Structure 1
Amino acid sequence: MRPERPDLGGGMHRGIKFVHAAVLAFSAMLAFLFVRGLDEDWVLGHSAVVWVSESRNSASGEQVTRAIESFAAEHGVTVARELPDLRDPDRRRHLYLVAGDPGSDTASWLTKGYPAFGRDYHTDVHPFVEIGQRDPRGFYYVFGPSRADDALLATFAGLGLHGQVSHPLSVLDLTSVYSDSALLWAFLVVALAAVTLTGASVLLGAKVYGVLRLQGESFAQILRRDLRQLGLFWVIAAGVVTAAALIFLGLYNGLTWLGLYAVVAAGMAGLLILVVLAAHAAVLALAFKVEVPQALKGELPARSAAFCAYLVRAPALLLTLGVITAVVLAGQDVLARQNSRDAYARAGDATAILLNGSLGRESGEMEVRVGQWLRKADAEGQIIVAGRRKLQNLGPSTDLPQREMLIVNDTFLGEQPILDPEGRRYTRAPREGKARGAGPVRLIVPDSLARHASAIAAEIPSLLSPRDPKRIHPGEVKTLWAKSAQRVFGYNSGSESGGSGSNPGEDRSLVRDPVLVVVPNGSTYLADNTYTAFATQGGVVFPDPDDVLGGIAANKLQTYVRALRPVGQNAALELRTSVNDFRMRLFNFAVAVAVLLVSGVGVCIVYSRKNAQAIFVKHISGWRFAATHRSVLAGEALLAALLVAWLPFNAWQQNQELKWYAERGIPAPRNAVQITTLDLVLTAALIVIELGAVLLALAVFHRRIVKEGATEA
């Protein structure tokens, strides 16, 4: 037997092993965040969701319950209906369940409870019969074979109930939901970082690969050698990460949904590992383009390597710009939510309501009945109205600025201080005209918008009563003035009502210089459907939660009002979500900057190794630093120019979409994109980071080359 030839090449660069270990750890962390989010949005383990949205009122609640129990027993599946908790819908839900197979895992939830993955959301499980005579429209989970969902939909159709089937946990639906989430951005940024670090590490091992080639090793043999070395390390790293994850999950949730977590973590790790191995093989093949003598000196294929580096560097630069913008906006949102905490604290137990979104054709009846109840509650002083509208979308012919309008009642003025130009506070107006049940509509316009007052006043009738604007005579609108630079508390973040901000998730609880339309309590100026529309946006608030419960019971609105949502609690939950989002985006930014730095250093390594002798000669010949390295500096200047040009191009591209709406007379879904001072500052900062890293690396390598050249001389 021929003795095995010793491996004189040495081990692979430790950076490659670091990448694989980091990828495994990151996949474990990201999988935890992903599954925890799924658990809060949906009941885990289901195969489909049937959304019943239409009812002919031909079946009672008892008939629906019997039909579902019979269906579950016949098909051997579990069916469950989810309902939010009436008092705490953001942190608790109720699951009414019937199991066709008593031995199934889901059947055990009735005795052991739902196995929640996270700690922040609680699910109470009840037998299906306890659901009572509730309206059957809503969401039903199916746990079992995929074909059972269509059969359940057919069963509902036989009862006069119609809806549709969805699969929220399918890859297609999850891709759509998470297409612009911080988690996806984190995955993409880490993938780019892994590719960059792997490529740099392989290039830094050029001398080792040169020795192996001198020994007669082929590309395939060297690649197999690297994979063998990685195999042992990978087993150890995977074991360490798995053990750490098991210990953490055991303490966190008792290893609940471990199988789902493992599948998600393994899938993410598998994708990233494949990307890393592909980058490893590609850069190794690139190293083979250098002749063996040059490879033994550590030289690299300059043109190809530089091209690959910039192929990563250019998208990384644009990605970093998007990430840093998201970080700044998320940070501003966190600060805004923190600044509004005192206002929510003063609101005390004030609560908004959640309305049923599964009523289909009967939503018109809900608008009338709920609107009538809210009007009566308004007349009795039980509610605060704080509806929102975009000022610039008020009318088709008005040229109004990007501000917000608050449609409020007199009770709002009693709770929130609104000052006139002389500093006097507006108060609740006395009742006038009992036949109308109201006095005039007061339009309070900030001084800064005085020139737009007449245009705004002309649109008030259509704003308050879109279906019957003639119910309000222009003479019943009284224009008043407000002191500029006021911040008004709107009782909600404004995220559900659109608003004037460019960021749909930003907090606008404190509205700066809004236009206020003050409607007397309980007046007929506001249509029933307008009251209901404001309620769906969180714009109707009950200072006393007991008034909500009493009103629901007295008016038999259990079908329409799903839950109460305390405004302070909702704000606290949104703040927590905002902080978590900010942290994730900050992590993305740190990784993206690391990619820029590593790719910049990689360019300098390739350049300096290829041109070391020429750099030394130019230095002793008196060439300036910029002239010596003009090729690299020119490439970086081109990247900077690309970044600068990207701003107007991106704004133009997004604004082109708005022309389609304008040509058809449709209100635009968002404002036109404009280049702001923030955009310019962030772009300039990113250019400084990009050029600074390259200049610093060039200076270090230049000094090393000069020092080594002088020593050899």
Structure 2
Amino acid sequence: MLHRGIKFIYTAVLAFSAVVSFLFVRGLDEDWVLDHSAVVWVLDSDDSTSGSQVAGDLASFAADHKISVAREVPDLKDPDGRRHLYLASGIPDSDAASWLDEGYPAFGRDYRTEVHPLAEVGQRDPRGFYYVFGPPEAADALVAEFARLGLQASVQHPLSLAELAPYYADGTLALALGVVALAAVTMTGASVLLNAKTYGVLRLQGRSFAEILLRDLRQLAAFGASAAGAVAAGVLALLGLYNGLAWIGLFASVTAVIAGLLVLLMLATHAAVLALTFKTDVLPALKGELPARAASVSAYLVRVPALLLALSIATSVVAAGQDILSRQESRDVYAKVGETSAIRLNGSLGEDDTKVMEERVGRWLRQSDAAGKLIVAGRRELRDIAPRSGLPQGEILIVNETFLAQQPFVDPAGRRYTPAPQDGKGPDAHAVRVLVPESLGRHASVIAAEIPGTLSPAQPERIRPDQVQTLTAKSGQRVFGYSSGDQAHTAARNIKEDRSLVSDPVLVVVPNGSRFLTDNAYTSFATQGGVVFPDPSHIQAGIEANKLQDEVIAIRPVGQNAALQMRDALNDFRLHVFNLAVAVAVLVITGIGVCIVYSRKNAQAIFVKHISGWRFAASHRSVLAVEGVLAVLLAGWVPFDVWQQNQELKEYTALGIPAPSEPAQITALDLGLTAGLVAFEAGAVLLALMVFHRRIVKEGATEG
């Protein structure tokens, strides 16, 4: 009979494959319209063809080539929860054509796709994303058709393995898959080893390795069929309630691929460990003895990476937990700003058109700023404004006077800084005020000197030194930045964290609508979520009045965006916790496996040492010594990693290049995590060893 551990891990792998497939397909459905063969991205236009003319031509093109073509447009008021698909189909009975009448079959519940006839797209700018539903070569023909219409386009295949692999390779789902694969190998190997006595009996009956392996495979096939049926029935019932079995074919295919890869890995492990049991003679095998050296080496080949992986995942769990706590802390602040909204700009523009957009949108934003309708909260890294000056890590907020009216910021005496008079008569009316925390006082002159270049990189001379007024702010203040700061900082720091509440920032206060900020700066801040409107109706009115429908494609309430990021952060945290639980399970299994191999090989010697009065530690010094070395290596891993990171930073300094980050430090949290994992893995081994020791002593005493 198969060991129950093998039955458990095969069932768990099938269930896990379904869960990963669900998360994967749901993510794809939110990012892209499913079932397409290619995406054509129209980047530029010579303006020789209008949007309605392009729509009419595409309808004819779809009919001539017997394909379906659809234009994706985000919803203006709910871009994170809804998109519009304008579709033309040359195949009336195709799945894509049925969406016009029956609606798009969304896989998840959090994102809606509304389908309209392509003719309803109207005079919208033709640049953007177009889906092709048909043969892949039709995408090249569509690019040629766009070129004939004066549009520059390129073909992408976002659902292909070549484009999906790099996107998901470093993600949490890929890590979960790797951790479960490690657990599957460990559990399979341990279960085969625990079945050593059964295999010894079969060998005594004259069975060969191939015959025993085929016997196991037949039993696995029978059990696997019933387990797969049970899992499939449960999954179908849940998906039927969740989405009416939408995209069940795609879901089943992804599940089969994931499960197939894991099952093949487990079968290979099964065969390898079974071959390992054949290295023991038949009579010792009947007693459950194992090839100690090979089995122990195999266990530690899994155990050592699992320890380092568990430490890395534990760090990620803590970081994700801290991120959630910071997002919860800022949630009340987002609630207070109500419907305050940012804008999303069109990214499907060529270089020349982007410059035109920056001028048009920037001019509108400047006018709105002068009228007091918006809040500017642009972000910069403090060290980036003067990389070679030794400025510490920190953040600059480039804000307008309206920001000061909404967010309290005080001087060292506790007096609040207020907006400068808008009539131009006050002493600060035409000055850029730089509010520097006391803690950065010794850097104030350097910061002030860099402000002209920070506000106007192309023309710093437009801001005279006497137009920059440096003032002191109280240290320890936290200021709401109206966004999480991820768009401004994630690429530079290679991290994902909530920075809605900024600690001890340098505030650069620019008069509303001032020429100190260029049109390009307004647009740049807007792309980062750094320009927000307390009343979103002003956005809608500005778009219509300035005819910016092609440039401003979405209105995003900052609170809604924060809620979506919180949801994603919670999902990541749950996956990290799952990964940690699996990694810890691998540690426990490998630790127990080491003890099983050791105790079965040395059972007689252990009993003799016990009745001779040997202490527990002396009786098992070999395995305890190896585990002690492993614990020391694990305890030293974090200090070594920190030292290595700091050595890399010193290389930047030696070359005269500013280091990309502050020197890493060992925190109490790092020490606590390391100590906890060391204690857990050592404790698990010690406990297992004590259990097996007592069993050996008890069995020996009974036989005596």
Asked if TM exceeds 0.5, the reply is yes
Counterpart in the other structure of 1:635: 626
1:513 is aligned to 504
Give, as a single letter, the amino acid of the residue that structure 1 aligns with 2:178: L
1:403–1:500 CA contact under 8 A, matched in 2: no
Partner of 2:213: 223
Q: How does 1:554-593 map to 2 (within 5 A)?
A: 554-593=545-584
Matched, 1:128 2:118: yes
Matched, 1:647 2:633: no
What one-letter code is carried by the residue in structure 2 that aligns with 1:271? L
Distance 2:399 2:121 in 1: 37
Aligned to 1:212: 202
Is the 1:84–1:92 Cα contact (8 Å) retained in structure 2? yes
Instruction: Give per-residue Cα distances to partners, 1:587-629, cap 9 Å, x unaligned.
Output: 1111111111111111111011111122222223333322322
1:137 aligns with 2:127: yes
Deviation at 1:650, TM superposition (A): 4.2
Cα offset, 1:447, TM superposition: 1.4
Equivalent residue for 1:304?
294
Of 585, 594, 597 in structure 2, the residue corresponding to residue 606 of structure 1 is: 597
2:544 maps to which of 533, 550, 553: 553
Partner of 1:373: 364
1:390-539 correspondence to structure 2 within 5 Å: 390-431=381-422, 438-498=429-489, 504-539=495-530
| Alignment match, 1:176 | 166
Cα deviation 1:257-307 (Å, max 9, x = unaligned): 010000001111101100111111111000000000100000011000000
Is 1:337 aligned with 2:354?
no
Counting matched residue pairs gives 703
CA contact (8 A) 2:410 2:416 kept: yes
Q: Cα distance 1:563–1:665, how it changes in 2: closer, same or farther (>3 A)?
A: farther
For the 8 Å contact 2:388–2:657, the answer to whether it is kept is no
Distance change in 2, residues 1:424/1:435 (3 Å): closer
**CA distance in 2 between partners of 1:648 and 1:157 (Å):** 58
Which SS does the other structure have where 2:251 is aligned? helix
**Corresponding residue SS for 2:486:** coil
The residue aligned with 2:687 is 696
| C-alpha deviation, 1:70, in angstroms | 1.9
1:711 aligns with 2:694: no
Aligned-pair CA distance for 1:583: 1.0
Cα displacement (A) at 1:368: 1.4
> 2:284 aligned with 1:294, yes or no?
yes
Deviations 1:365-416 (A, max 9, x none): 1111111111111110000111111112121322111111111111011111
Distance 1:673 1:178, change over 3 A: farther
CA distance in 2, matches of 1:544, 1:610: 76
Q: Point out the more displaced range, 343-352 or 394-403.
A: 394-403
Aligned to 2:265: 275
Instruction: State the alpha-carbon separation in 2 of the partners of residues 100 and 450 from structure 1.
Output: 68
Residue 66 (structure 2) pairs with residue 86 (structure 1): no
Amino acid of the structure 2 residue aligned with 1:43: V
Alpha-carbon shift at residue 315 of structure 1 (Å): 1.0
- Equivalent residue letter for 1:82: E
1:71 maps to: 61
Alignment match, 2:176: 186
Q: Which stretch of structure 1 is more off in the superposition, 434-443 or 117-126?
A: 434-443
Contact (CA 8 Å) 1:438, 1:523: kept in 2 or not?
Answer: no
1:14 is displaced (CA, Å) by: 1.0
SS in 1 for 2:508: strand
- The CA deviation at 1:661 is 7.9
Question: Which residue number corresponds to residue 33 of structure 2?
Answer: 43
Instruction: Identify the residue that residue 5 of structure 1 maps to in structure 2.
Output: none
Question: CA distance change for structure 1 residues 660 and 112 in 2, over 3 Å: closer, same or farther?
Answer: farther
Distance in structure 1 (CA, Å) of the matches to 2:135 and 2:55:
21
Quickly say closer, same or farther: Cα 1:177–1:500, change in 2 above 3 A. Answer: closer
Match of 2:222 in 1: 232
Q: Distance in 2 between matches of 1:60 and 1:619?
A: 91
Q: How far has the Cα of 1:28 moved from its partner?
A: 1.0
Mapping for residues 229-268 of structure 1, pairs under 5 Å: 229-268=219-258
- Kindly indicate whether residue 669 of structure 2 is the aligned counterpart of residue 682 of structure 1: no
Paired amino acid for 2:553: R
Deviation at 1:12, TM superposition (A): 1.9
Could you tell me how far 1:570 is from its partner in structure 2? Answer: 0.8
Mapped to 1, the partners of 2:684 and 2:510 lie a distance apart of 59
CA contact (8 A) 1:431 1:437 kept: no
**1:540-597 per-position Cα deviation (integer Å, ceiling 9, x unaligned):** 0000011001111111111111100000111111111111111111111111111111
Q: Tell me the equivalent position of 2:140.
A: 150
**What CA distance in whole angstroms lies between the structure 1 residues aligned with 2:290 and 2:393?**
55
- Residue 17 of structure 1 corresponds to 7
The 1:239–1:573 alpha-carbon spacing in structure 2 relative to 1, beyond 3 Å, is same
How many Å apart are 1:186 and its aligned residue?
1.1
Fraction of identical pairs, as percent: 67
Which amino acid letter does the alignment assign opposite residue 435 of structure 2?
A: I
Q: Secondary structure at the match of 1:134?
A: coil
**Counterpart residue identity of residue 287, structure 1:** T
* DSSP 3-state at the match of 1:400: coil
Which residue does the alignment assign to 1:7?
A: none
1:698 is displaced (CA, Å) by 1.2
Which residue of structure 1 lines up, in the alignment, with residue 587 of structure 2? 596
Residues 44 and 601 (structure 1), Cα distance of their counterparts in 2 relative to 1, 3 Å cut: same
Could you tell me how far apart the structure 1 residues matched to 2:183 and 2:420 are?
62
Q: Which deviations, in whole Å up to 9, do the C-alpha atoms of 1:316-350 show, x marking residues without a partner? A: 11111121111111111111111111100110110
1:200 maps to 2:161: no
Q: Indicate yes or no: 2:152 matched with 1:165.
A: no
- CA distance 1:514–1:197, change in 2 (3 Å): same
For residue 476 of structure 2, what is the amino acid of its counterpart? Answer: A
Q: Tell me, yes or no, if the aligned pair for 1:52 and 1:164 is still in contact at 8 Å.
A: yes
Distance 1:621 1:688, change over 3 A: same
RMSD: 2.1
Task: Report how far residue 659 of structure 1 moved.
Answer: 8.3
Q: Deviations over 1:666-702 (max 9, x none)?
A: 8877666554443332222211111111111112112
One-letter amino acid of the structure 1 residue matched with residue 471 of structure 2: L
Distance 1:516 1:92 in 2: 36
User: TM-score, normalised to structure 1's length?
Assistant: 0.95
- Are 1:390 and 1:499, in contact at CA under 8 Å, matched by a contact in 2? no
Matched, 1:619 2:643: no
Q: TM-score, normalised by structure 2?
A: 0.96
C-alpha separation between the residues in 2 aligned to 1:511 and 1:630? 53
- For residues 148 and 426 of structure 2, the distance between their equivalents in structure 1, rounded to whole angstroms, comes to 49
AA aligned opposite 1:303: R
CA distance in 2 between counterparts of 1:132 and 1:676 reads 58
Assess if the C-alpha contact under 8 Å between 1:77 and 1:99 holds in 2: yes
Using the alignment, how far apart are the partners of 1:236 and 1:157 within structure 2? 56
Distance change (3 Å), C-alpha of 1:668 and 1:249: farther
**Does structure 1 conserve the Cα–Cα contact (< 8 Å) formed by 2:388 and 2:658?**
no
Shift in Å, 1:660: 9.1
Structure 1 range deviating more: 21-30 or 696-705:
696-705
* 2:373 aligned partner: 382
- Name stretches of at least 5 consecutive residues in structure 1 with no aligned partner: 1-10
- In 2 relative to 1, CA 677–390 (structure 1 residues): closer, same or farther, beyond 3 Å? farther
